[in-house]
């Protein structure tokens, strides 16, 4: 049986005749020294990990283990699944300790592991929520909701990683005792519930690989086989992919993170069992994701309502959810499929997620995080230092230092280079060790040099991935395509002699008897390419995205203030320019676009595009990935009305909405118009809120028109219970003298005339109805 390590994941593969199956080169055999990932791994060790450990301590996540051990009084702190965050940070520490053995980090991690071990019950059960609350009689009685197996899965992954990185068994022993306990409680003739949040399936396979204990694989297999079947239980539906047997599924549904962890676990089990029906189902679902439901950034899951999937081609930009954890799940799943099938297209998707929708989840300083990753913003969306549900910050901290485990794969006599990053690797082949040194400035430069520093005597194949973008394939489906231009010829040489490359294949393979000092040089041209979406993606109609190499770009207001009002005509020249002092060192794109102006001629503007992953690391402002190609599809710059010239502010604005929607001059069609930007006070309910206009100079005003937002039947925003209008007089707010009622009519502007006032500010104060929120689509001033 072969081994498959993703970070620390192993996979034994058995497939049909003719399939090239791979196993990963473990993270413990790879060291990165490149200018892109190595600094991020260092940042993770020095900033992200300490930040997350500290946050877990300050929010009570770690103290809960002390309470569960009977060493600290008080009640449970936080959310019932918070144990998992601690485990993920420990997993990140494990990968970091492999890269750099840090005595202080190791001592800290050992101390936390000891606190966790002390909380384990004599029978192996370990879950702080029920233990601290003295409700052990409730264990496993509500698996669809309570995340006990989800937390266990993250413990298993962390324990395996820590054992492999340090050789220490304390945490691994905790994991096996807990896994043994699960095996006594779940399975045929026992509790037939499946995990409500998948994770434990893939984690049990990891634990099986390191221990050889087959009952762990058996339990993972049971859960995969039982999902969607309903043996002595009710199905929970498509939210957690439990609506029908997995072998019969063809579409991705439900919660995005659950979906990715689910199908990753399915791939693990299918590979070990040689289950062709499970493999076929996995492939069908992958085609649905990559062909109809993936963002150009590799992000997935457009809906905030279910943190997941809706219907095919529903890929809105400003309201995109695209959870960071879901992008990490995409990386995990596509890595497994690459090894299962030996096809480069899966590594293409892995790379797309890694360089775009995944690392956007952490700031360049390492101390702020995105939970949600929209592809457009009007300036209100920002990273946060922490979240009540902190799955994303802790998931990022375990993924970053594990990147080396995704770089190489192998067979007994072949080495596959899936990701390009400077560093070294030692690969154990059947005939002996092969050692490689990789030098490159990827992803900014497409030149890669591999030097063999040791090789077995037998013939060995070196297979270098030819990324889809270098073969003029945007993604391995018709969801996106490149609009114009070609990537140029790919060049490959061995010891300076050119080797013919077939651009239709995903790998360039060279088989020979290698010796120390041999070199391979691969040159992947990196022109600036425009990406066009499938016509069924209505949100991207008449728009293009910019890509160079694996990097997707965006336009930010800090560089181009008119970012949300410009268009980029077809054929407009774009050039790539290295900017080593910007955003940690990036390549930017420069060109000239046109600004659309409402009721006026367009005007030229210099455009600067930066990597999407790096946005919101400077001054706050608007952002766009998909750029209109003509004035018809552009959002025109507002006319210089009184409202447009005002600075808008508010008491609160939901992160997916925008205060600038108040005066963007986009006309609503009805109060429930969710197709246009809006200001809402969600998720404040029944509160007093306000919206305000400020002018640089005093002006005389006598009328306002307010179009209230009300999504009755779809959401929880309603017109307000009441509202007032005030103006600033010196340092005081005074009510206007109204000439009529302050209306709250639906589907129309509510006009209010009042005695003229000269002022520098107007303010609407609202009282929201009980139990609901509210908002405004447009506020005009005359």
Question: Is 621:557 a contact under the CB 8 Å cutoff?
Answer: yes
* CA atoms of 198 and 202, how far apart (whole Å): 8
Catalytically active residues are: 307, 391
The packing angle between helices 256-273 and 214-226, to 10°, is 120
Nearest CA-CA partner of 308 in 258, 261, 262, 255: 255
Longest dimension (CA), the chain: 94
User: So what's the pLDDT on residue 8?
Assistant: 33
- Are 617 and 544 spatial neighbours (Cβ–Cβ below 8 Å)? no
770 within 8 A of 709, measured Cβ to Cβ: no
CA count, 13 A, side-chain hemisphere, 576: 19
CA-closest candidate to residue 564, choices 635, 621, 641: 635
Instruction: Please name every residue paired with 699 in a beta bridge, in sequence order, or none if there are none.
Output: 759
Tell me what pLDDT residue 486 has. Answer: 63
* DSSP state letter for 142: -
Preceding amide of 683 cis, omega within 30: yes
Give the three-state DSSP class for 61.
Answer: coil
Contacts of 586 (CB under 8 A, 6+ apart): 444, 579, 610, 611, 614
Dist CA 530 CA 510 (whole Å): 32
Q: Would you say the C-alpha torsion 210, 214, 215, 220 has a positive or negative sign?
A: positive
With residue 92 as reference, give the H or E element that holds it: helix 83-99
Distance of CA 701 to the CA centre of its chain: 46
Nearest CA-CA partner of 8 in 98, 120, 130, 114: 98
pTM of the predicted protein model: 0.92
CB atoms within 10 A of CB 603: 12
Among candidate residues 350, 327, 330, 357, the one with its CA nearest the CA of residue 552: 357
pLDDT, tens digit (0-9, with 9 covering 90-100), for 586-621 = 999 999 999 999 889 999 999 999 999 999 999 989
Q: How many CB atoms lie within 10 A of CB 489?
A: 10
Q: 232-257: b or e for each residue (b if 16 or more CB lie within 10 Å)?
A: eeeebebbbbbbebbbebeebbbbbb
Q: Residue 503 has what pLDDT?
A: 73
pLDDT (tens digit per residue) in 479-517: 999 997 666 799 999 999 999 988 778 999 999 999 999
Q: Which residues of the chain have pLDDT under 70?
A: 1-19, 485-487
Contacts of 277 (CB under 8 A, 6+ apart): 247
Residue 253 has what pLDDT?
Answer: 98
The answer to whether 37 and 402 have CB atoms below 8 angstroms apart is no
**Rounded-to-integer distance, Cα 368 and Cα 362, Å:** 6
Residue 47 is given by DSSP the state I
Neighbouring C-alpha atoms within 13 Å toward the C-beta of 585:
12
Phi and psi of 754, rounded to 5°? Answer: -150, 165
Query: Taking Cα atoms as reference points, which of 95, 79, 212 lies closest to residue 150?
Result: 79
Pairwise CA distance, residues 83 & 68, whole Å: 11
Q: Model confidence over 153-205: pLDDT tens digits? A: 999 999 999 999 999 999 999 999 999 999 999 999 999 999 999 999 999 99
Distance between CA atoms of 121 and 131, rounded to whole angstroms?
9
763 phi-psi bin (left φ>0, alpha ψ -120 to 50, beta other):
beta
Q: Which of 1, 5, 4 lies closest to 404 in space, CA to CA?
A: 5
CB-based contact 157:91 (threshold 8 Å): yes
Please choose, from the candidates 249, 250, 242, 251, the residue with its C-alpha nearest in 3D space to the C-alpha of residue 223.
242
CA nearest neighbour of 471 among 431, 413, 515, 522: 522
What integer pLDDT is reported at residue 485 of this predicted model?
62
d(CA 66, CA 487): 57
């Amino acid at each position: 049986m072969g081994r498959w390590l993703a970070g620390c994941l192993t996979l034994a593969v058995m497939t049909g005749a003719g399939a090239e199956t791979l196993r990963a080169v473990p993270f413990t055999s790879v060291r990165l020294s490149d200018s892109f990932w190595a600094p991020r791994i260092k940042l993770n060790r020095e900033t992200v990990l300490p930040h997350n450990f500290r946050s877990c301590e300050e929010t009570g996540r770690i103290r809960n283990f002390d309470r569960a051990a009977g060493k600290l009084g008080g009640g449970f702190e936080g959310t019932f699944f918070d144990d998992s965050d601690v485990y993920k940070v420990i997993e990140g520490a494990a990968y970091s300790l492999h890269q750099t053995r840090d005595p202080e980090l190791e001592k800290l991690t050992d101390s936390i592991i000891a606190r966790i071990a002390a909380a384990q019950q004599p029978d192996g059960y370990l879950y702080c929520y029920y233990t601290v609350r003295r409700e052990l009689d409730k264990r496993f009685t509500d698996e669809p909701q309570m995340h006990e197996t989800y937390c266990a899965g993250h413990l298993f992954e962390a324990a395996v990683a820590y054992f492999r990185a340090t050789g220490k068994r304390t945490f691994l022993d905790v994991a096996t005792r807990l896994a043994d306990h699960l095996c006594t409680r779940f399975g045929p003739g026992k509790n037939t519930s499946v995990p409500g949040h998948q994770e434990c399936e893939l984690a049990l396979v990891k634990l099986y690989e390191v221990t050889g204990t087959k009952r762990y694989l058996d339990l993972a297999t049971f859960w995969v086989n039982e999902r969607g079947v309903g043996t002595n239980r009710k199905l929970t539906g498509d939210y957690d992919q439990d609506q029908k047997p997995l072998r019969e599924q063809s579409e991705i549904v439900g919660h995005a993170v659950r979906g990715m962890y689910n199908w990753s676990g399915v791939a693990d089990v299918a590979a070990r069992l040689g289950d062709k029906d499970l493999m076929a189902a996995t492939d069908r679902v992958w085609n649905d994701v990559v062909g109809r439901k993936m963002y150009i950034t590799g992000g997935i899951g457009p809906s905030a309502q279910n943190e997941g999937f809706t219907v095919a081609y529903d890929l809105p930009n400003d309201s995109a959810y695209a959870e960071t954890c879901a992008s990490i799940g995409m990386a995990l799943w596509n890595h497994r499929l690459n090894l299962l099938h030996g096809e480069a297209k899966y590594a293409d998707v892995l790379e797309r997620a890694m360089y775009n929708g995944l690392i956007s989840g952490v700031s360049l300083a390492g101390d702020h995080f995105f939970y949600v990753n929209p592809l457009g913003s009007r300036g209100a969306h920002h990273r946060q230092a922490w979240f009540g549900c902190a799955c994303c910050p802790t998931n990022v901290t375990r993924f970053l230092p594990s990147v080396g485990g995704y770089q190489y794969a192998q067979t007994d006599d072949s080495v596959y280079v899936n990701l390009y990053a400077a560093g070294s690797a030692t690969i154990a082949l059947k005939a002996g060790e092969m050692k490689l040194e990789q030098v490159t400035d990827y992803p900014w430069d497409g030149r890669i040099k591999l030097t063999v520093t040791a090789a077995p005597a037998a013939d060995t194949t070196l297979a270098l991935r030819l990324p889809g973008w270098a073969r003029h394939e945007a993604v391995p489906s018709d969801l996106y395509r490149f609009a114009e231009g070609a990537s140029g010829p790919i060049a490959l040489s061995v010891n300076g002699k050119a080797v013919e490359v077939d651009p239709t294949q995903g790998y360039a393979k060279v088989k020979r008897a290698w010796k120390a000092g041999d070199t391979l040089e691969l040159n992947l041209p990196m022109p600036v390419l425009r990406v066009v979406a499938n016509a069924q993606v209505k949100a991207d109609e008449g728009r293009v995205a910019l890509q160079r190499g694996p990097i997707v770009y965006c336009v930010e207001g800090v560089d181009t203030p008119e970012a949300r009002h410009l268009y980029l005509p077809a054929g407009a020249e774009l050039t790539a320019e290295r900017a080593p002092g910007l955003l940690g060192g990036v390549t930017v794109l420069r060109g000239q676009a046109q600004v659309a102006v409402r009721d006026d001629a367009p005007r030229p503007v210099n455009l600067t595009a930066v990597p999407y992953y790096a946005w919101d690391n400077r001054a706050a402002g608007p952002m766009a990935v998909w750029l209109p190609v003509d004035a018809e599809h552009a959002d025109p710059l507002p006319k210089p009305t009184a409202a447009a010239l005002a600075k808008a502010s508010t008491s609160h604005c939901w992160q997916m909405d925008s205060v600038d929607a108040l005066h963007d001059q986009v006309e609503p069609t009805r109060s429930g118009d969710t197709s246009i930007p809006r200001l809402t006070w969600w998720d404040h309910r029944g509160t007093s809120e306000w919206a305000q206009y400020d002018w640089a100079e005093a002006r005389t005003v006598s009328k306002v028109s307010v179009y209230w937002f009300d999504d009755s039947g779809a959401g929880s925003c309603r017109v307000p219970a009441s509202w007032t209008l005030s103006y600033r007089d010196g340092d005081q707010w005074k009510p206007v003298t109204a000439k009529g009622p302050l209306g709250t009519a639906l589907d129309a502007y509510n006009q209010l005339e009042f005695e003229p006032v000269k002022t520098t500010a107007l303010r609407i104060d609202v009282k929201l109805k009980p139990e609901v929120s509210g908002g405004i689509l447009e506020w005009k001033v005359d």
